[in-house]
Amino acid sequence: MAVAVPSTTAPLVSYTISQGSLSFSATRGGEISPPQTIQLSNTGNTTVHIKNLLTTPDFSVSGTCPVLIPGASCPLTIAFTPQASSSQLTTPVISALQILSDSSTSLDFVSLLGMAAPSTLGLSPASLDFGNVLVGSSATLPIRVNNGSSLPAIFRSITPTGDYSLSDDCPSPGAQLAPSAGCTLQVTFKPSQPGPRTGTVSIATSITTLALTANLTGTGTQSHLQANPSSLSFGDTLLGASTSLTLSLTNNGTAPVSGLSLSTLSDFAITKPCAVTTLAPGAACTITLTFTPKAAGARPGGLTAISSDPGSPMTVSLSGNGTLSPAVTLSVDGGTTSSVTVKSGQPAGYHLSLTPQNGFTGSVVLNCTPVQAGQYASCSLLPSSIALNGAAQSSAATLNTVTEETTAQIRNGTTSFALCFLPFGLCLFRRGRATLALALITTAALFASGCGSGGSLVINNADPSLRYTPPGTYQYKVTATSTTGTPLSRTVTLNLTVTAH
């Protein structure tokens, strides 16, 4: 039985080039030199694939060698095709032919040298560089075409490529440009997008074999204004208050942003604008915006930036929410004031209600103070401290018109009452003029202090320790003051009319 023996021969992927350099005689711009040929030969034992052949526009390559099997050869024809030049001297042109393959040497070169003589149809300049031009804008530069031949130049075509267009006073196709005459091409560059933008303008005439080509270069630039952040939310802000936030405006483009103008809508204002109206590429400025809600609820708005940016105007969304200040209402019997009439000795009752508003939470303390106090009257509150957390709470205010005095107070009152009769006692024991005069003086003093007239003293004969508020009109106020949460104070009025006991 035969067994195949694997080959031990290593694969060899290689080829040779018949010449490593080529030189070409003087050739006028727009003409073709006599061609020269080189051979690519596969010297290995594996197929070689030629992937690409590259050179500059001053040289041309014809012939294709996509596949070279072992032992095969392939010719390449190279010619010198100098481009237009504004020089009136013969100048060397150095280039190379690059050969890309899958051989062990993946990149090979053939050096190329040609001598470019002045063209009979001259271009001045032979190339144009427009530099930086804003996208959406344009720039125009001229090229002068001169017929240096002794023969008229019959124009066939003038063709621009890329982001370039032209107007000219050159002859139309089929017309002639006389010997030693010239015309001007006005080439306009209008970049369609940012970055380098290349192109050509080719002039085909009867004077040259090939069309003369002028290389065109320019860079499209664009200003790009960007806001960071792209929107602002001011959140909840109390009516009557303000909230401020900042944002930055940056020029992320390649051209200056000029004529910067800012404006706002609705409840928003610019409180610190940009210090400049022009931003260079990469530059930024910071602005401060303030939200002052004019009404409760959502308050949308916007910041508008007008500038030279092609995307102008730029709008930044602004939002905020106007909120009411947390508060508490205090009422007495459903209003801000209440009046009650009672007989002396009876209590007057008032119903107090505390209602939280706009999300108020916290503790509130009630205090009762006299505005016009009633004798022997007192005010009590139950409860006097209330915790509010969403729902209304109640309290009771009571004005009492009777009070109880201590034994010492009663004794002092009885002694004073007895002293009121002292003058009459003096008259009983002695009836002289001096005694009578003393009695009259004592009587006047005691009665001035309250004896005999009764004053405001009301005594319950059944219980001498009780004192009653005299008939009249009195007034008290109840004040609710927060001890936690939002500081606040609210007041209601209690009117009291007391009639005779």
Name the percent of the chain in helix, strand, coil, to the closest 5: 5, 55, 40
3-state secondary structure 383-441: CCEEEEECCCEEEEEEEECEEECCHHHHHHHHHHHHHCCHHHHHHHHCCCHHHHHHHHH
Cβ contacts of 3 within 8 Å, gap of 6 or more: none
The closest alpha carbon to 268, from 236, 240, 302, belongs to 302
Number of H helices, E strands in the chain: 3, 39
Q: Is the peptide bond before 383 cis (omega within 30 degrees of 0)?
A: yes
Give the whole-angstrom CA distance, residue 417 versus residue 304.
Answer: 89
Strands (E), 265-344: 268-272, 284-291, 297-298, 301-306, 314-323, 327-332, 337-343
Q: Return the DSSP state at 36.
A: E
CB 485 within 8 A of CB 326: yes
Phi then psi for residue 215, to 5 deg, are -80, 140
**Integer Cα distance of 383 and 222 in angstroms:** 73
pLDDT of amino acid 477: 96
Say if CB 393 and CB 402 are below 8 A apart. Answer: no
Whether 343 and 499 have beta carbons less than 8 Å apart is answered as yes
- Report yes or no: 161 and 175 within 8 Å, Cβ to Cβ: no
In angstroms, the first-to-last Cα distance of the chain is 145
State how far the Cα of 357 lies from the Cα of 359, in Å rounded to an integer: 6
Q: What are phi and psi of 417, to 5 degrees?
A: -65, -40
CATH class of segment(s) 121-221: mainly beta
- Determine the topology of domain 327-401+469-499 in CATH: Immunoglobulin-like (2.60.40)
What is the spatial distance between Cα 128 and Cα 125, in angstroms, rounded to a whole number?
7
Report residue 461: phi and psi, to 5°: -60, -30
CA torsion angle 402 403 408 414 (round to 10): -10
Match 């007239």 to its residue by tokens.
453
Taking Cα atoms as reference points, which of 97, 96, 116 lies closest to residue 208? 116
- Euclidean distance between CA atoms 281 and 258, whole angstroms: 11
Nearest by Cα to 314 from 234, 361, 376, 250: 250
What are the residue ranges spanned by the domains of the chain? 15-117, 121-221, 225-323, 327-401+469-499, 407-467
Which amino acid appears at position 435 of this protein? T
Q: Which two tokens stand for residue 237?
A: 């802000």
- d(CA 309, CA 307) in angstroms, rounded, equals 5
CATH architecture assignment, domain 15-117:
Sandwich (2.60)
Residue 370 corresponds to which tokens in the numbers above? 């006299």
Taking the chain (501 residues) in runs of 10, the rounded mean pLDDT of each run is: 53 90 93 95 92 92 90 94 80 94 90 92 91 90 92 94 94 94 96 92 93 93 91 90 94 91 92 93 94 92 91 92 87 95 95 90 93 94 92 94 70 46 44 46 42 44 82 96 85 95 79
CA distance 103 to 133: 45
Per-residue model confidence (pLDDT) at position 159: 94
| Cβ count within 10 A of residue 298 | 10
Residue 114 corresponds to which tokens in the numbers above?
A: 């040609």
State in words which class domain 225-323 has: mainly beta
Which of 256, 196, 194, 221 minimizes the C-alpha distance to 133?
A: 221
> Residue 416's pLDDT is what?
46
CB 234 within 8 A of CB 291: yes
Residue 196 structure tokens:
């380098």
SS3 442: helix
